[in-house]
Each structure stands twice: as structure tokens, then as C-alpha cells.
Amino acid sequence: MKNLKNILFSTFIILIVFSCSKDEVTNEVVDDEETIEVGITELSSAFEAFNSDAVTVTLSDDGTEIDIETTGFPNHKSIYWETTNALYEDEPNVKKTTQDTYIGGGRGEASSFTVDATPNLTGNTVATELGTIGIAVSGSAIFNDQEGSGDLDGAAASLDWAGAHKGPGVYHYHLEPRPFSNDDDKLVGILLDGVFIYGRKCSTTGTYPTDLDASGGHTTTTIYDTTPIYHYHIINEVYPAANYAYEPAYVLFAGPFQGY
């Protein structure tokens, strides 16, 4: 009887050890699976809205990254084109940043960056910085709500009808870009975190969204996505300044980023 008890006890211990070992292995496999980044098989149809004369978009072989390159040249009129260019348009109320620099005649206008094919929305938010924070569908750069060391007020008079200016580097948008999004739900561009940004209205409701987070983002369908997806909107708040050539003014994107 004593031997039987010993045998049963030993068997019980073996089962416990085996069970624990099995759980540990299973957990390790799950952890490994969670670190695997799954790629996409094709680019979003939203990229079809980008100016193909300026923007080139390439999906990496494993489908995890998207390379975006642009000449930086927009496909709409502006006072910042050279006067001999077909897209030049005089804007008497705009005080140009420089009389000698024009689109296509400056330095560093081309740019490129790589984003995750599936933006990481689980991390901390990241503040925007000066310089290019995204590419608009026109092919030109998107900047935040700052100019140099301060806000936009000092440079407001130099912004053209598209809410953009040049000087002396890239031509770039600070405000709602009216040539391709003017109080609507149209695609505006893609930001450095891989998240698309749309106009002030939501295509799902046809009205201004009321559930935006601090970045101006939410998760709904779009004109390109029948399945809800996280994306930004230009926030429907007038930027208070009295010296813009074109009013009202709506900041394109101030941040922070959500998709890093």
C-alpha cells in the first residue's frame, strides 16, 4: 500500500512538471508570434489620389514598409511658381517670403521617407517638429502650425490661396489646402507616422466629426476604406489671426502623431 502511494505521488509530480513545461513553451510561442510584424499585400487605394507626376510610392518586398518619394512640386496654381510657368497665378494680397525663390528654382525640394505599412497606434504620442511632417496629395510638403521659432502669425501674410508658401526651401502647406480639400472629406495626404489625413468633414456622416482625439484622429470608414480605419482630419477650428491673405484659416496638422 505504501509503494502504491509513492507511485501515485510520483506520477502526480511528473504531471505537474509536464503541465508547467508545456505552458511555458506555449507562452514563449505566443510571445514570439506577437513580435512578428505582418505585412500587407497591396497598397491602399488612397495612394491613387496622389499626384503621380510628383509622388512615387513603393511597398517593400515583405509588405511591412512603404517608401514615399516626391519632387515636391505641386500640381496647382500659386504665386510661388516662376512667372513664366503655366501654373503661376498673381495673388496681390500675398506678401511673398522672397522675390527670388520660386517652386522648381530652390534647393532641397525633393524629399522621401519610409513609414510602417500598418501604423503602430499602441505607443506614446510624438510631438511634431519643424520641417516636413508629411506629403500632401499634390506632391508638396506638409508642415505643422509653427514657423521658425514661433507661431504662424508672423508668416501669415505670405501664405498663398493654398495655405502654403516657399522660402527658400520646400514649398509647403501650413493650412487647409484649398486646391484639393476645401471644407470636405477629401484626402489631404499622409504623415510621417503612416497615417492618412483628410479634410474637415467625415465621409461616414457627411458632417464635422465630434469624436476626434487630441491629434484630430478617429476610427471610421473613409472614401477609400469600407472597414473602419484610424485617420486624421483637419480640425474644424478657425486659427485666430487677422493678417492672412485668405480667411478663414484652418491649421492642417499640429500634432501630436499617433502612429509611431
**Summary mean pLDDT of the chain:** 85
Region 201-226 average pLDDT? 96
pLDDT digits (tens, 9 = 90+) for 4-36: 444 444 444 444 433 444 333 333 333 444 556
Query: What is the model's pLDDT at position 167?
Result: 73
Reading phi first (left if > 0) and then psi (alpha if -120 to 50, else beta), residue 239 is in: beta
Give dist(CA 107, CA 116) in Å, integer. Answer: 28
3-class DSSP state of 142 = strand
Query: What is the model's pLDDT at position 15?
Result: 42
Region 139-147 average pLDDT? 94
* The pLDDT of residue 196 is above 80: yes
pLDDT interval class at 245 (50, 70, 90): confident
**DSSP for 176-233, written as a single string:** --TTT-SSS--EEEEETTS-EEE-SS-TTTSS--S---TTSEEEE--SS-SS-EEEEE
Other beta carbons within 10 Å of 42: 7
pLDDT digits (tens, 9 = 90+) for 58-99: 999 999 999 999 999 999 999 999 999 999 999 999 998 777
44-83 burial: b if 16+ Cβ within 10 Å, else e: bebbebbbeebbebebeeebebbebbbbbbbbbbbbbbee
Other beta carbons within 10 Å of 179: 19
pTM of the model: 0.84
pLDDT interval class at 105 (50, 70, 90): confident
Which residue's entry shows cell 520660386? 102
> For a pLDDT cut of 70, what percent of the chain falls above it?
84
Query: What is the model's pLDDT at position 169?
Result: 84
Region 30-47 average pLDDT? 73
3-class DSSP state of 114 = strand
Query: What is the model's pLDDT at position 37?
Result: 66
Peptide bond before 256: cis, by omega within 30 degrees of 0? yes
Region 178-198 average pLDDT? 97
Query: What is the model's pLDDT at position 149?
Result: 65
Other beta carbons within 10 Å of 230: 16
